[in-house]
Amino acid sequence: MITQVASTEVVRDINRRIILNLIRTRHPISRADLARVSGLQRSTVSSIVEQLIAERWVLYGATGRLPRGRRPTFLRLNDERVIVGVDIRPIQTTVALADANGQFISHEMMPTSTDPELAVNRLIESITRSIRASTGKKVEGIGISLPGRFSPESERLVFAPNLRWGDFDIRTPIRNATGLEVEMENAANACVLAAVWFDRLDDSKNFVVVTVSEGIGTGILANGRLVQGLNGMAGEFGHVPLEPDGPVCGCGSRGCWEVFGSNRAALRYYSEEVNEAAQMSFPDLLSRADHGDVRAARALARMAHYLGRGRRMIVAGLAPERIIVVGDLTRSWHRFGPVIEAEVQRQVLPGGCPPKLVPAHEDGRARLRGTIALVLQKHFGVFD
């Protein structure tokens, strides 16, 4: 009996999500069209819609015109409900405000302090500013993407080798200062959520997101579910050693994939060639290569080669349908795509099928979109 109740609830949640996503992607849409497109019964559609309207997630829009019969009322998502998205990266932090459709309304960037207490205080100031600026809108919650791992049990940051904030409670001070719920997730996992929620990849049940920045992160969707693993630590392919005698990694080990395939690695390759400790950013390196600097191009090619080498682990271990790449490198995809692809193709197992390699559609906001999805999924249950 209990199982039956549970399964009815699961079905209802799934139907609710289907309806909500149809309204989100096809609005304005009538109930009759919702029933037709979803294949659900009209009574089921109506009761879900009533609930969504009561919760003010959905609003009545214009009234349609038909040659005869009742005029349909179109439905749309309520864009007066907004979410604060925060993307903490080792060098820079972004605070943005977006509506439930994932449209960004404002954003603010600041350098990330190495002192976690100072960084969180600045973050609170920025969040407060963006909430104040959103007059008349209902702020639904705060989503935060982290360059590391957050333990939901201890509510603390447990592993962030490139951030070096140590074991620190980010959530409590932000929750106390704003009175809002704060959802936190590893950056690569947030990108998985963004792909499912906003890129309409929910027909794809097996894909991996690889985030390439100061480090390398991976988020895994397997059989339609986000893989968390013990202590939420699944997906740390970036810290699997490719060469045990390689350079020391932020995690304390040597020769990890990320010390060879990250943005930092390319900058290191470049400074080795030009014999100077160049104080430049990864985007600088990309543009130098585009302006004909062959040493910059060589450094990027070396990074691409290693990205491909490491990716074999993912293909052999998880056999994903696609691998989505997130990061500044997607802006120069012609340099990276073919090299990575060739590396992966060389090692496809007999009977295996190489995954589709896709650069994330890059406005640099995949992580931020993930933080919005993180808050939305608490309400709509993407995975549960």
The residues of the shown chain that bind Zn ion, judged by CB under 5 A, are 239, 249, 251, 253, 256
The nearest distance, CB 262 to Zn ion, in angstroms, is 10
Closer by beta carbon to Zn ion, 312 or else 322: 312
Closer by beta carbon to Zn ion, 165 or else 198: 165
158-178 b/e with 16+ CB inside 10 Å = b?
Answer: bbbbbbebeebebbebbeeeb
Closer by beta carbon to Zn ion, 183 or else 214: 214
Strand partners, 151: 156
The nearest distance, CB 280 to Zn ion, in angstroms, is 23
The nearest distance, CB 340 to Zn ion, in angstroms, is 20
Closer by beta carbon to Zn ion, 118 or else 248: 248
The nearest distance, CB 257 to Zn ion, in angstroms, is 8
Short-list 65, 33, 68, CA closest to 49 = 33
Q: Are 342 and 311 in contact (CB under 8 A)?
A: no
Residue bearing tokens 């390319």 = 266
The nearest distance, CB 188 to Zn ion, in angstroms, is 15
In whole angstroms, give the CA distance from residue 68 to residue 62: 17
Closer by beta carbon to Zn ion, 207 or else 260: 260
The nearest distance, CB 263 to Zn ion, in angstroms, is 15
Short-list 132, 139, 169, 166, CA closest to 153 = 169
Closer by beta carbon to Zn ion, 46 or else 253: 253
Closer by beta carbon to Zn ion, 245 or else 363: 245
Short-list 165, 146, 145, CA closest to 83 = 145
Closer by beta carbon to Zn ion, 144 or else 251: 251
- One-letter amino acid at 238 equals G
The nearest distance, CB 231 to Zn ion, in angstroms, is 17
Short-list 217, 115, 234, CA closest to 165 = 115
The nearest distance, CB 247 to Zn ion, in angstroms, is 10
How far is CA 216 from each of CA 20, 64, 237, 240, 257, rounded to the nearest angstrom?
33, 50, 8, 11, 8
In whole angstroms, give the CA distance from residue 296 to residue 270: 6
Sheet with 58-63: strands ordered across: 29-30, 73-77, 58-63
Q: Are 314 and 218 in contact (CB under 8 A)?
A: yes
